[in-house]
Amino acid sequence: MKKSTVTEIRERFDNEVERFSNLETGQVATMDAKIALELITCTARAVKPEAKTILDLGCGAGNYTLKMLSKVPDLDCTLIDLSQNMLDKAQERVSVATSGKVETIQGDIRDIELPKNHFDIILAGAVLHHLRDDSDWEMVFQKLYDSLTPGGCFLISDLLIQDHPGVNQLVWKMYANYLNEHGGGEYQQKVFDYIEKEDTPRSMTYQLDLMKRVGFSSVEILHKNACFGAFGGIK
């Protein structure tokens, strides 16, 4: 199947702002969304308690930044998303939660130039699975590493595959059962069709290995449940 273009992904998210604005429930289709959000932001605080700057990549309506600000207040926030509608909502919500600067950048992270040694915390919630080729992954991870301050952290919550075909089949069967329980067979098929068209996830081990390759001094696994996980690297 031909994958969604950047334009198609942007247009879809332009119409999903309200659904992605619920800080309490997270996304029903994402297993353990609330747990991952809490773990990632707690970890960022533990790694960089004196943080001043955050980059929220694929910020959506701003949930990750809002949760981070509840733990480390008054950060200068940089929000990146394909969707201007999402950015408008995120800016509106984040601006009232911090006395720091709030900058929004609309675009694809592959095309955006980031400042070097600037961000104390980088969060990427359910966004990197849109990257396609290995070269995209490597370029983006290197760019994010370069933009972190020494001791800064890059933390990810995302959809994953497994490297072993049998294990991959198992975890996706677990996810299918989860979707069936929450919305029935039709809902499960709708989510799977959407993933097939739009997403190209990589495994957690692939991403942790890539982090080490681009220079991260340590990597951490925070949570894993079927084909979802939370993990990251420290510069």
Over residues 33-80, the pLDDT tens digits come to 999 999 999 999 999 999 999 999 999 999 999 999 999 999 999 999
CB half-sphere exposure, 90, CA atoms < 13 A: 34
- 3 pLDDT band (50/70/90 cuts)? low
Closest CA to 30 of 154, 122, 136, 127: 127
Q: Looking at the domain that runs over 6-234, which CATH code has it been given?
A: 3.40.50.150
Structure confidence at residue 26 (pLDDT):
47
Give the model confidence (pLDDT) of 163-201 as tens digits: 999 999 999 999 999 999 988 999 899 889 888 988 899
8: amino acid identity, one letter: E
Judged against a pLDDT cut of 70, whether residue 21 lies above it is answered with: no
Residue extents of the structural domains in the chain = 6-234
**Structural Rg of the chain based on CA atoms:** 17
Predicted model pTM: 0.93
Gap between the Cα atoms of 26 and 233, Å rounded = 23
In angstroms, rounded to a whole number, what is the distance separating the alpha carbons of residues 181 and 192? Answer: 15
Phi, psi (rounded to 5 degrees) for 82: -70, -35
